[in-house]
Structure 1
Amino acid sequence: NKLDDLFDAATKVKVITKLGTNLEFSVSGRKGRGRNGGIYQNRGAWGNLPCGEAFIAPLEGSANGVYFVDASHAGVGEIFQPIEITVKNGCAVDIRGGREATILSNMLAAVDDPNAFNIAEFGIGCNDKAKIIGITLEDEKVLGTCHVALGRNVLFGGKIDVGVHVDGVIKSPTIYFDNQKIVAEGELLI
């Protein structure tokens, strides 16, 4: 809940890593998600397990920079050679790396919709029991990781509705909400 409250109050997020990630985007007016903690009591409520992430839909068109996925990526699996994703005006414009980057590029191109490249989600892992295992659904929950998703975000406060949503997990990030450091090289500071 604390991370969601910080997401709610933030206007800008910046992510950096030793691999070279340097990504910034606006979250102004958007609300953090993840407050239910994996407990779904109401009819129609949805989510995934294990629990343990706070996430938000960045403002469409606002993300710029580069990020390196080095844990796992949905639709790809475990990452052995980091995937370098360059972002301009809210969309991935270049995807580089080895075999994993080729798989991701081909998967997104097959959707045949430019919105597949939208920076859809940013999340921070909060589960101290989760481990990096090469499966994105668990990896994105690991305490101190973060993830960036491409594609659809309409289900959690965004405006893009496209037939894909794939998360890429980043190990040991440093994350700022506005000028407040929230995560330092994978260590949650709040």
Structure 2
Amino acid sequence: MNGELRSAARRIIQDSALVGKNETVLIIHGAHNGDFASLLAEEAMRTGAFPLVWGFDDSLVSDFPERPPDGLGAIIKRADVVVWLSQYTAVDNLPGKVRRRVFSFWDAVYSLLQEEKVPTLLVNLPSPAWLEEDGIDPDEYLREFASAVSVDYAWMRRLGVKLMERLSGAKEVLLTDGNGTRLRFSVEGREPGLEDGTLRDCQLERRECEVEIPAGEVYVAPLESSAFGRLVLPHDGLELEFRAGRVVSVSGERAGGLRDRLETPGGDVIAEFGIGLNPGVRPLGLRIFDEKALGTVHVAIGHNLHLGGANESGIHIDFVVLNPTVLVDGEPLMEEGTLRM
């Protein structure tokens, strides 16, 4: 496992973050993934870069500022690259007032990165407790994580460009599967985007940018009033019915928790259609990971301004469809999880 994780750290620094000699790399991590942060720092040093490692342990927090102090803000602004590992380990155990201040602090850090257009990798390494809540063995996740970041990024980019060409200028998408999913929506006038797992585009354009790791998807924001039909998700214990772009009913064994979140303004509106590109991802039951898997698609509801849409909301929830069939303007793009290019 140690060898696999070291290799994964090397791939993240060299192939995803594209860290160069004499660059300053800020590595943010939580108490649960400090060992991997150390591996990232070692690999950054091997490239001739200067890593700064910032560890956060929420189990030690009793009070917290709502914004980073000026000195810390200066460090954040001067970084050439930020590699941000999932930083929360036990935040749910904090008193409500302290937890809100912690969230405000990290929101302010994120805003600083956006304002300064610092290329940022968001590395999904959740705490073991969070993984276990979803029925995922933490050691298994680490193995699958290493596989998911040790892929051919150039190949994913080429595939993503082809899919973008298919979606660019398209009008209608029909999504079906063997579980009863049948969802139709329009993408007319919406431009697709590509997340290929590298900071290449961010660094070339020096624009506001962050990339998730593991990565690999093509995405587009459907017209917000265009979705009609049903999304059936037996692995999530959910069925969603859409009408005029909004979720009008939710059923299934896990429907209760989702209904509460749909009360968020704009939270019931279709937000995204995405196509997974990553051949190294094996779905485990963690949506933010599974949605990158080659052979899957995902549909999201909620916020989509960052995707080129027009809906603002405080939530963004993805739903992964396994082995889907997708028609674009009546022509097959995917059949039972296999791309038809």
Give the TM-score of the pair, scaled to structure 2: 0.50
Determine which structure has the larger strand proportion and give its number: 1
Q: Is the 8 A contact 1:146 1:169 kept in 2?
A: yes
What are the equivalent positions in structure 2 for 1:17-56 lying under 5 Å apart? Answer: 17-34=177-194, 36-40=195-199, 41-42=202-203, 43=206, 44-56=208-220
Q: Which amino acid aligns with 2:164?
A: D
Give aligned pairs, total.
Answer: 176
1:143 equivalent in alignment to 2:294: yes
CA deviations 1:47-81 (Å, max 9, x no partner) are: 3121111110001101101111244xxxxxxx2x3
**Of the candidates 89, 92, 106, which is equivalent to residue 244 of structure 2?**
89
State the secondary structure of the residue aligned to 1:117.
coil
Question: What stretches of structure 1 move > 3 A for 4+ residues in a row?
Answer: none
Q: Quick check: 22-31 or 47-56, which moved more?
A: 47-56
Select 1:15's aligned residue among 152, 155, 175: 175
**Following TM superposition, by how much is the alpha carbon of 1:134 offset from its aligned partner in structure 2, in angstroms?**
1.1
Distance 1:31 1:57 in 2: 8
Which structure dedicates a bigger proportion of its chain to helix? 2
Query: What is the CA–CA distance in structure 1 between the aligned matches of 2:175 and 2:282, rounded to whole Å?
Result: 21
Q: SS of 2:184's equivalent?
A: strand
Alpha-carbon distance, 1:138 to partner:
1.2
Matches within 5 A, 1:107-118: 107-109=261-263, 111=264, 113=265, 115-118=266-269
The equivalent of 2:232 in structure 1 is: 68
Kindly indicate whether the alpha-carbon contact (under 8 Å) linking 1:70 and 1:171 is maintained by their aligned counterparts in 2.
Answer: no
* Aligned 8 A contact 1:49 1:137 in 2: no
How much has 1:133 moved relative to structure 2? 1.1
Matching of residue 124 in structure 1 with residue 275 in structure 2: yes
Q: What is the Cα deviation at residue 16 of structure 1?
A: 0.5
Q: Distance in 1 between matches of 2:321 and 2:171?
A: 22
- Structure 2: how far apart are the matches of 1:135 and 1:174? 22
- d(CA) in 2 for partners of 1:94 and 1:5? 34
Residue type matched to 2:256 in 1? T
Q: Give percent identity, aligned residues only.
A: 36
User: CA offset at residue 170 of structure 1?
Assistant: 0.8
Distance in 2 of aligned mates of 1:161 and 1:47 = 21
Unaligned segments of structure 2, at least 5 residues: 1-160
Larger Rg: 2
Q: Distance in 2 between matches of 1:84 and 1:157?
A: 26
Find the counterpart in structure 2 of residue 2 from structure 1: 162
Q: Matched residues in 2 for 1:181 and 1:22: separation?
A: 15
Partner of 2:85: none
Cα deviations by residue, 1:73-126 (Å, 9 ceiling, x for unpaired): xxxxxx2x3x1100000011101100x2221112222x2x1x110000011111
- What stretches of structure 1 of length at least 5 have no aligned partner? 72-78
SS of aligned partner of 2:211:
coil
